[in-house]
């Protein structure tokens, strides 16, 4: 039991679990067998001595353990054992009739079944008994659950542990049904046991305590009734209809054959199916039959079940199974017409309501334990189908959005302070920036339903508010745009005026919040009631503070509310709204993403055939890799990937390289590589992947140089080249990315992931100029970094497009947005037309040929091309080499190029120059032809759309932008061939999937050829606000991580060049192999010691201060004052030695500690505007993907390790520094943490007290290899560090005061000699102080002993940058 509990706890904390079992796999089989035995033990099982040895709580732990095994099938050790209880042999526990039905459904299983029966006849009795145990385990487990379920009484207390046990059992059943590997054969067994029917009829289902149990039953029913075949294929709408009508007509034939003389049955048998397939009609019919009649019908239908093979207790009878109530419900469930899953999704309201937002079972709060059972979907390794995949993500994304919306609503309503006045009305005693009272709300337009639909086609309303708020807040409300989301709230407060919120009471009880509905803005109305045009530059003037918005309501929700009001007599919600709330734009895009997912669920969008099974988690994990694809490209140009022959050969050390030079060119870049032809055998003959017979193919890589075709004689047009010497693994990633298929690149910190991505994009661009590449990242920062590097390569900027917000943060003066690119094209067009005019003049051609792109095209066709062809004919006929230069018709045009244009050395050289010059001219007209549509399209919108769909070849956007704008992109006809994803391990699963489907299929196929995912699953996962969704639902699992878990081949970059090798050793253990690039051993920055520190990294033990270690003022807001003071004192020490402030970053493991450190910094240093602040103060989570030279890290915790136990977080924390890392924490606590032992064992090899050399200054000349020069100053505690820094500061002040004083006096004296002006100093103010007041910058600061800090160098007095969460 202790082992299972330990595994469950480690799983909950996302710690590695199964590695310990792999060391002795034979013992795990025995352990798993014992777990199964204990699962079947009776509740409150007692040992022979009569003492309690086994309880329901422990059985819950066993069920949780089984659930973890079911969801960990990627582990061979686990899968081998789990298959014993979920394989085909478990059908031996089926009833005979049901077994016949199942084998008839899938005839291919008949032979394996017969072989299984023959094999059973050959084994001995002990082996038979063992096999019987495994094959009947799940059926016996369900019987044990039934025994527990029937023990529940209608009233009175529940038996101890019964509710938890039943909920954990259903959770296990859901896990089994939601994965095809376990569902395939188990589904029939569970259906034959009628678990769902018994749960719905159980007394616990209707009790108040059984609310979560009932929701779990509904979730299990969803997966149990999921429309999928035994082989994993989705049933189409037609196939579902055929199956349903087949069951209904079969029932009619069965009852007629059993009871031909009964008039009522004749009437039922002859009735149309649509009249008998409703629950009401079926219940009425089956209620009229006796129990014996029902048993006969159930037996013929095949749903009677079989209990002969079930091992039960003596005191448990079978009356429950044979009851008429159960048989009736079983038959109804089998024959009634169900609403399809697609219809349920389409009828679902897109906005969360109060029923969902404050349902703790669906939207748990921050205090809910992730070990509890909840009726929530989970994201495991495998999915039943793409429909199931999208549906789970839709539900989770909707619930996660509801959690964030709940937080905003509670904050806004609490600030509004709704009170009940004496007349029973509502008054507001406060105000909120994000919420306003509603003056008037009116639904004025309800459209007729579309054909075949019940909800109206549209619902529009008018919303009136009064903007009697500050000017900046009024501007925010008036800046609301079309499609922004608002929330309409109804509060009916019960608290009287002046009452305060009690935070320990439920929010709804105090606020009186009754209803929540969402709406989408159509626009704001002017004083005349007309919709304001957002594109108009002139905004209308309003006469008062009243503003009216026109909004769209959710038709589905409006229909549900209308039905509840009409049929159930409930209150009409819409006239009661009295608060409108808005949210931050960046947090309010959930509706667009949800609608995108729902559109995909309803559409027949085609995933590439080579990706379908891999995406769902089935089949061969290597099937989508380029080596297994049937479309390998044998020869490709690698452009500037390799810097030399030696570099190329070093990248293929394990492969034979043949250097071929048929054109007698210098053996230098660029190179063209030809890969070995993969071969297969068919009929004993070796064949290529295309099927052609080939001779024996050796593993030889053929390399040949080629010459870049120069496009211009002007040096300014010289193409940019790559200068990164790629490593062998980086080269492997580039090759894989250039080939068709799925490429996964695992990039540890500092291994050049971005450089690899950029080179892949550039090589695809040059090898396949007709293809388009989509770049997707998680953050705007990463996208801009990638885009800036792409701009530095040889890629025509007219083919680059950056979409979405964040483009303005690009470090360039050029505008790469859609309208910026249109302006570039138009300006480039004018520039090219001027070149055409110059060419016209040089050729002596009359007319205005440079007026438009069309006239320029005619000029090229009839003048330029004709002259070039005439020139070629003359050169071909001439034997005089001088004629190449003398007869060249465009010499005058290139008069401004470096001269002489022709070297006149060789005929080939001069001819090459002529061709180069003509290519330059030809490229002018090629570009003009591409720009011609921009002349024909007159509006800016049309031009941006054409640019997006036709002109741009490399399009970059964030995953959020892709989800929000998908519908628009599809309607525009957006197309692309390749997808490159950076930060792939930080993107939510569904946000990773959506960018694959931003285009319509072509002839039933997806044109996607390459999918390159670059990330690091060993660092932090996607951010999920709700911890239950993050852990219990596994929403933190990115698609990249899931692919790695599934065993899909990865390219692991294995050499870092960011940091010192000693710092890399702190986290390199986490990766398969991670070394250091040569420059980390050679560059002076990596060889020089950190001034003032004995070591380049240290773990500093921080004891309690005044008896206090960590504190938690509010939930998850953890602080540690001692560490905060220690970190700030260290920062001050570094600044006193001369470290640049911009080179220092302070990180904290918790947001509360970050705010505490900020307060300490402002207190210790904030009264001196010249002192400078660290480059950044942030949490570890927010700093992922960034770096700095020196990092001060506060671990905060002193009682428990907390969420730092997650190895991924500690990897991020330890990998942000390049030159120096100093970690502050409780050494005994973290050193004894098993999961973190590899890192902290290295950290703790050095002293856990600061060893300092305060006599040094930055930068020091001391090398790391020089050893310690003298006995260091040892700092034993935080107070010692503070006292030492204070004394050091005083010394610096005394040393520098005379020099600064003299400098200031000399400067003042110089100014007085140059300009004799009367003194402007006030009486009693010294010249030095007056000068100090006028001066700006670090040099003018006069040190004072009462200040705790003195700026030395590199300090710009910058404001501290803090990441707010």
Q: For 1110-1120, how does the pLDDT look when each residue is reduced to its tens digit (9 = 90+)?
A: 998 887 789 99
Q: Which ranges constitute the DSSP H helices of 844-906?
A: 853-859, 865-877, 883-886
Q: Which helix (H) or strand (E) holds 387?
A: helix 386-416
Cα gap 949→803, rounded to integer Å: 13
Q: Percent of the chain at pLDDT above 70?
A: 90
pLDDT at 1113: 85
Would you place residue 1342 in the very low, low, confident or very high pLDDT band (cuts 50, 70, 90)? Answer: very low
pTM of the model: 0.87
pLDDT at 153: 84
pLDDT at 773: 96
pLDDT at 1004: 81
Q: Has residue 495 got a pLDDT over 50?
A: yes
Q: Has residue 694 got a pLDDT over 80?
A: no
Would you place residue 270 in the very low, low, confident or very high pLDDT band (cuts 50, 70, 90)? Answer: very high
pLDDT tens, residue by residue, 332-362: 999 998 888 788 888 899 999 999 999 988 9
- For the ranges 90-94, 672-676, 814-818, the lowest mean pLDDT is seen at 814-818
Q: Has residue 1364 got a pLDDT over 50?
A: no
Would you place residue 573 in the very low, low, confident or very high pLDDT band (cuts 50, 70, 90)? Answer: very high
Classified as helix, coil or strand, 704 is strand
- For the ranges 275-284, 315-324, 1186-1195, the lowest mean pLDDT is seen at 315-324
pLDDT at 46: 54
Dihedral of CA 1044/1050/1056/1062: which sign? Answer: positive
Phi/psi of residue 1056, nearest 5 degrees:
-105, 150
> Residue 191 in contact with residue 238, Cβ under 8 Å?
no
What is the CB neighbour count within 10 angstroms for residue 84? 19
- For the ranges 1001-1005, 1060-1064, 1290-1294, 1341-1345, the lowest mean pLDDT is seen at 1341-1345
pLDDT at 1226: 94
Classified as helix, coil or strand, 1043 is helix
Cα gap 908→917, rounded to integer Å: 14
For range 1199-1227, the mean pLDDT: 93
Q: Has residue 816 got a pLDDT over 90?
A: no
Q: Has residue 1260 got a pLDDT over 80?
A: yes
Q: Has residue 320 got a pLDDT over 70?
A: no
Q: Has residue 1301 got a pLDDT over 80?
A: no
- DSSP letters of 428-477? ESS-BTTEEEEEEEEEEEEPPBPTT-SSBS-EEEEEEEE--S-HHHHHHH
- For the ranges 932-941, 1031-1040, 1265-1274, the lowest mean pLDDT is seen at 1265-1274
The larger pLDDT score, comparing residue 1156 to residue 240, is at 1156
pLDDT at 665: 81
Burial tier of 1146 (Cβ tally within 10 Å: 0-12, 13-18, 19+) = buried
Q: Which ranges constitute the DSSP H helices of 897-947?
A: 907-936, 940-946
Beta strands in 482-592 (DSSP E): 485-491, 513-525, 546-553, 579-582
Would you place residue 309 in the very low, low, confident or very high pLDDT band (cuts 50, 70, 90)? Answer: very low
Would you place residue 1187 in the very low, low, confident or very high pLDDT band (cuts 50, 70, 90)? Answer: very high
Q: Has residue 768 got a pLDDT over 70?
A: yes
Cα gap 401→923, rounded to integer Å: 51
pLDDT at 124: 85
For range 437-452, the mean pLDDT: 93
R_g of the chain, CA atoms, integer Å: 37
pLDDT tens, residue by residue, 138-168: 999 999 998 888 888 888 888 888 889 999 9
pLDDT at 647: 93
pLDDT at 814: 76
Of 1, 17, 2, the C-alpha closest to 1234 is 17
Would you place residue 50 in the very low, low, confident or very high pLDDT band (cuts 50, 70, 90)? Answer: low
Classified as helix, coil or strand, 321 is helix
pLDDT at 490: 95
Q: Has residue 43 got a pLDDT over 80?
A: no
pLDDT at 310: 34
pLDDT at 371: 63
Q: At what angle do helices 279-287 and 324-335 cross, to 10 degrees?
A: 140
Q: Which helix (H) or strand (E) holds 31?
A: helix 25-39
pLDDT tens, residue by residue, 672-685: 999 887 655 444 44
pLDDT at 1270: 81
Q: How high is the mean pLDDT of the chain? A: 86
pLDDT tens, residue by residue, 598-657: 999 888 777 888 999 999 998 889 999 998 887 889 999 999 999 999 999 999 988 888
Q: Has residue 709 got a pLDDT over 90?
A: no
What is the CB neighbour count within 10 angstroms for residue 653? 8
pLDDT at 1168: 61
Cα gap 463→460, rounded to integer Å: 10
pLDDT at 45: 55
- For the ranges 763-777, 1010-1024, 1171-1185, the lowest mean pLDDT is seen at 1171-1185
> How far from 745 is each of 607, 763, 1015, CA to CA, in Å?
21, 17, 6
Q: Has residue 321 got a pLDDT over 60?
A: no
Q: Which helix (H) or strand (E) holds 1252?
A: strand 1250-1252
- DSSP letters of 1072-1123? S--EE-GGGGTSHHHHBPPTTBSSSEEEEE---BTTB-EEEEETTEEEEHHH
pLDDT at 173: 94
Q: Percent of the chain at pLDDT above 90?
A: 50
Would you place residue 312 in the very low, low, confident or very high pLDDT band (cuts 50, 70, 90)? Answer: very low
> Residue 1026 in contact with residue 363, Cβ under 8 Å?
yes
For range 242-271, the mean pLDDT: 91
Would you place residue 1359 in the very low, low, confident or very high pLDDT band (cuts 50, 70, 90)? Answer: very low
What is the CB neighbour count within 10 angstroms for residue 1196? 26
pLDDT tens, residue by residue, 970-1015: 999 999 999 999 999 999 999 999 999 999 888 888 899 999 999 9
């Amino acid at each position: 039991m202790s082992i299972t509990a330990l595994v469950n706890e480690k799983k909950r904390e996302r710690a590695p679990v199964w590695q310990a079992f792999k060391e002795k796999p034979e013992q795990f089989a025995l352990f798993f067998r014992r777990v199964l035995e204990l699962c079947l033990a009776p509740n409150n099982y007692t040992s022979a001595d009569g003492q309690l040895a086994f309880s329901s709580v422990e059985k819950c732990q066993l069920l949780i353990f089984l659930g973890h095994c079911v969801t960990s099938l990627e582990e061979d050790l686990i899968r081998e054992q789990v298959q014993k209880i979920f394989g085909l042999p478990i059908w031996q526990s089926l009833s005979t009739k049901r077994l016949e039905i199942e084998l008839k459904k899938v005839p291919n299983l008949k032979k394996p079944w017969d072989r299984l029966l023959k094999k059973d006849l050959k084994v001995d009795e002990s082996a038979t008994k063992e096999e019987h145990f495994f094959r009947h385990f799940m059926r016996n487990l369900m019987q044990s659950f039934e025994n527990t379920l029937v023990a529940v009484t209608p009233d009175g207390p529940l038996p101890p542990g019964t509710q938890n046990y039943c909920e954990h059992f259903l959770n296990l059943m859901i896990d089994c049904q939601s994965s095809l590997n376990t569902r395939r054969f188990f589904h029939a067994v569970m259906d034959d046991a009628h678990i769902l029917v018994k749960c719905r009829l159980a007394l616990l289902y209707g009790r108040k305590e059984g609310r979560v149990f009932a929701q779990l039953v509904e979730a299990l029913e969803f997966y149990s009734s999921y429309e999928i075949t035994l082989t994993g294929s989705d049933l189409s709408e037609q196939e579902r209809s055929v199956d349903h009508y087949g069951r209904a007509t079969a029932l009619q034939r069965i009852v007629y054959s059993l009871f031909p003389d009964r008039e009522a049955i004749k009437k039922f048998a002859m009735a149309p199916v649509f009249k008998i397939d409703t629950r009401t009609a079926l219940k009425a019919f089956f209620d009229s039959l006796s129990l014996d009649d029902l048993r006969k019908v159930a037996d013929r239908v095949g749903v009677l079940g079989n209990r002969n093979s079930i091992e039960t207790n003596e005191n448990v009878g079978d009356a429950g199974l044979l009851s008429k109530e159960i048989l009736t419900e079983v038959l109804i469930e089998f024959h009634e017409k169900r609403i399809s899953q697609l219809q349920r999704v389409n009828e679902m309201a897109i906005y969360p309501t109060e029923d969902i937002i404050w349902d703790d079972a669906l939207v748990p709060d921050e205090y809910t334990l992730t070990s509890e059972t909840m009726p929530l979907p989970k994201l495991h390794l495998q999915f039943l189908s793409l429909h199931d995949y999208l549906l789970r993500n839709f539900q989770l994304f909707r619930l996660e959005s509801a959690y964030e919306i709940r937080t905003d609503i509670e904050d806004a309503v609490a600030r509004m302070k709704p009170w009940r006045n004496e007349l029973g009305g509502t008054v507001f005693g406060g105000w909120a920036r994000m919420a306003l009272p509603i003056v008037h709300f009116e639904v004025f337009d309800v459209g007729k339903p579309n054909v075949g639909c019940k909800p109206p086609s549209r619902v529009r309303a008018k919303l009136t508010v009064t903007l009697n708020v500050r000017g900046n807040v009024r501007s925010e409300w008036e800046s609301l745009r079309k499609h922004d989301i608002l929330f309409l709230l109804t509060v009916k407060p019960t608290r009287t005026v002046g009452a305060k919120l009690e935070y320990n009471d439920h929010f709804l009880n105090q606020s009186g919040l009754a209803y929540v509905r969402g709406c989408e803005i159509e626009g704001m109305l002017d004083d005349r009631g007309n919709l304001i045009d957002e594109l108009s530059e002139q905004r209308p003037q309003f006469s008062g503070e009243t503003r009216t918005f026109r909004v769209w309501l959710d038709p589905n929700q409006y229909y549900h509310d209308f039905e509840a009001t009409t049929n159930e007599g409930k209150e009409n919600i819409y006239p009661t709204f009295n608060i409108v709330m808005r949210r931050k734009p960046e947090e309010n895009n959930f509706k667009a993403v949800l609608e995108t997912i729902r559109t995909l669920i309803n559409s027949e969008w085609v995933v590439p055939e080579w990706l379908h099974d891999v995406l769902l988690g089935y089949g061969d994990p290597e099937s989508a890799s380029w080596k297994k694809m049937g479309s390998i490209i044998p020869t490709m140009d690698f452009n500037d990937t390799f810097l030399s022959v030696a570099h190329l050969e070093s990248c293929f050390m394990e492969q034979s390289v043949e250097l071929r030079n048929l054109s007698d060119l210098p053996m230098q870049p660029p190179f063209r590589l030809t890969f070995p032809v993969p071969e297969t055998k068919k009929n004993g003959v070796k064949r290529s992947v295309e099927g052609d017979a080939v001779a024996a193919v050796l593993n030889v890589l053929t390399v040949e140089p080629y010459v870049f075709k120069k496009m211009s004689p002007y040096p300014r047009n010289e193409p940019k080249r790559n200068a990164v010497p790629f490593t062998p693994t980086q080269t492997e990633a580039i090759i894989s990315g250039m080939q068709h298929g799925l490429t996964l690149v695992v990039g540890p910190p500092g291994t050049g992931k971005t450089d690899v991505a950029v080179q892949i994009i550039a090589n695809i661009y040059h090898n396949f100029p007709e293809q388009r590449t989509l770049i997707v990242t998680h953050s705007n920062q990463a996208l801009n970094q990638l885009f800036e590097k792409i701009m530095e390569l040889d890629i025509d900027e007219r083919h680059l497009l950056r979409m979405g917000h964040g483009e303005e943060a690009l470090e360039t003066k050029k505008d790469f947005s859609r309208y910026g690119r249109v302006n570039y094209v138009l300006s480039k067009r004018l520039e090219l037309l001027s070149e055409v005019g110059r060419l016209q003049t040089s050729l002596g051609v009359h007319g205005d040929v440079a007026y438009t792109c069309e006239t320029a095209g005619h000029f090229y066709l009839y003048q330029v091309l004709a002259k070039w062809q005439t020139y070629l004919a003359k050169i071909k006929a001439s034997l005089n080499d001088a004629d190449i230069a003398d007869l060249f018709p465009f010499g005058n045009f290139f008069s401004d190029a470096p001269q002489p244009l022709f070297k006149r050395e060789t005929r080939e050289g001069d001819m090459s120059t002529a061709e180069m010059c003509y290519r330059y001219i030809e490229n002018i007209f090629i570009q003009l032809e591409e720009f011609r549509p921009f002349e024909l399209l007159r509006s800016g919108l049309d031009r941006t759309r054409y640019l997006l769909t036709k002109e741009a070849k490399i399009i970059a956007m964030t995953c959020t932008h892709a989800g929000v704008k998908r519908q628009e992109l599809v309607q525009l006809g957006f197309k692309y061939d390749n997808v490159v994803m950076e930060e792939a391990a930080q993107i939510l699963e569904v946000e990773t999937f959506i960018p694959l489907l931003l285009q319509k299929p072509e002839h039933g196929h997806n044109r996607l050829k390459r999918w390159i995912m670059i990330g690091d699953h060993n660092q932090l996962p996607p951010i999920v606000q709700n911890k239950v969704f993050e852990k219990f639902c596994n929403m933190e699992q990115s698609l990249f991580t899931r692919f790695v878990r599934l065993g899909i081949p990865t390219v692991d970059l294995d050499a870092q060049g960011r940091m010192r090798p000693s710092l890399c050793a702190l986290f390199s253990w986490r990766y398969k192999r991670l070394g250091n690039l040569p420059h980390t051993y050679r560059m002076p920055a990596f060889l020089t010691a950190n001034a003032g520190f004995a070591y380049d990294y240290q773990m500093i033990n921080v004891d309690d201060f005044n008896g206090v270690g960590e504190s938690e003022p509010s939930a998850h807001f953890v602080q540690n004052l001692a560490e905060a003071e220690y970190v700030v004192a260290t920062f001050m020490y570094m600044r006193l030695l001369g470290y640049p402030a911009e080179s220092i970053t302070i990180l904290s493991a918790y947001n509360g500690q970050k705010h505490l450190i900020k307060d300490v910094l402002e207190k210790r240093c904030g009264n001196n505007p010249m002192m400078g602040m660290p480059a950044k103060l942030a949490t570890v989570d927010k700093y992922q993907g960034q770096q700095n030279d020196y990092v001060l890290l506060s671990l905060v915790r002193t009682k428990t390790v907390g969420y730092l136990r997650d190895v991924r977080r500690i990897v991020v924390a330890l990998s942000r520094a390049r030159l120096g890392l100093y970690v502050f924490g409780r050494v005994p606590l973290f050193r004894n943490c098993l999961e973190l032992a590899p890192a902290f064992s290295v950290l703790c090899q050095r002293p856990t007290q600061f060893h300092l050399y305060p006599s040094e200054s930055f930068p020091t000349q001391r090398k790391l290899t020089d050893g310690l020069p003298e006995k260091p100053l040892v700092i034993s505690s935080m107070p010692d560090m503070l006292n030492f820094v204070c004394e050091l500061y005083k010394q610096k002040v005394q040393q520098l005061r005379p020099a600064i004083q003299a400098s200031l006096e000399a400067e003042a004296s110089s100014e007085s000699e140059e300009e004799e002006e009367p003194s402007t100093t006030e009486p009693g103010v010294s010249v030095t102080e007056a000068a100090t007041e006028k001066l700006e910058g670090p040099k003018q600061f006069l040190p004072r002993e009462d200040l705790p800090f003195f700026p030395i160098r590199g300090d710009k007095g910058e404001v501290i940058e803090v990441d707010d969460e």
